[in-house]
Structure 1
């Protein structure tokens, strides 16, 4: 029996193709991902105004129960990823980092280190466990073992 979860995927812009791969992976393991993420193929636009872009993102994060952060080589450099994680934390959302395949040594965004609930490798069952409440941190840089702080 498949379960459904409302998920916003925060990602570095060049990693957008991994959103559908994540959906497929989760579906194979029994979780249907209802996706509120924003990426060019799904939501084509040429917006450049930061306030406008954030106004478009806010309700999508609010709708989601979980924010999944795709971690790759350049994710930590994205101001939007940082902001999305911080906003999700202020909204009390579950925040799960997921390493892209072969990217397990990538630098984590500072906001994920501070506010993340779980960090997982690219494994369907493990990611679903994190989405549904397991706080295991599969990686470096976790400075504490207690509940995460909020903004």
Structure 2
């Protein structure tokens, strides 16, 4: 049975090509996605004003039911990824971290440690389960006793 999900994919700009790969994995496994992310390869935008960029991102994050955060070796350095995670948490979105293939030793953004619902390896079964609501945490130790905070 095919399902459909509205998603927003948060990623470091150097990992933009991986957004298409994750959508292909989801579709191959019966999860059709509508992606609200801004893809610089498909829609180049030379904007530099932070507030303007956030004004483009806010409605896309609000529209999505789930945020996927692609985690590579540069992700933790991105102020926009941090802001997107915090905004998604404030909006009550399900937030899932996904280690990029071969990058499971990458540093997890602090905002994801605080607000994330799941953290999974680049494995289709785990990714699908996390999107469907399982709280899988394959990564850094996390204190599950602490409630997820909403800004």
Taking structure 1 as the reference length, the TM-score comes to 0.96
- Unaligned stretches of 5+ in structure 1? none
In structure 2, the residue corresponding to 1:41 is in which secondary structure? coil
In the other structure, the counterpart of 1:70 is 70
Structure 1 runs of 4+ with >2 Å offset: 143-147
Task: Provide the C-alpha distance between the structure 1 equivalents of 2:141 and 2:60, rounded to a whole number of angstroms.
Answer: 28
Q: What is the CA-CA distance between 1:145 and the residue it aligns to? A: 4.1
In the other structure, the counterpart of 1:116 is 116
Count of residues paired in the alignment = 151
Give the conservation status (yes or no) of the 8 Å contact 1:4–1:33: yes
In the other structure, the counterpart of 1:28 is 28
CA spacing shift, 1:130–1:31, aligned 2, 3 Å: same
- Unaligned stretches of 5+ in structure 2? none
In structure 2, the residue corresponding to 1:37 is in which secondary structure? coil
Residue 40 in structure 1 maps to residue 14 in structure 2 = no
Q: Deviations over 1:80-138 (max 9, x none)?
A: 00000000000000000000001000000000000000000011121011011000101
Q: What is the CA-CA distance between 1:147 and the residue it aligns to? A: 4.1
In the other structure, the counterpart of 1:86 is 86
- For the aligned residues, what is the CA RMSD? 1.0
In the other structure, the counterpart of 2:140 is 140
Taking structure 2 as the reference length, the TM-score comes to 0.96
Give the conservation status (yes or no) of the 8 Å contact 1:94–1:117: yes
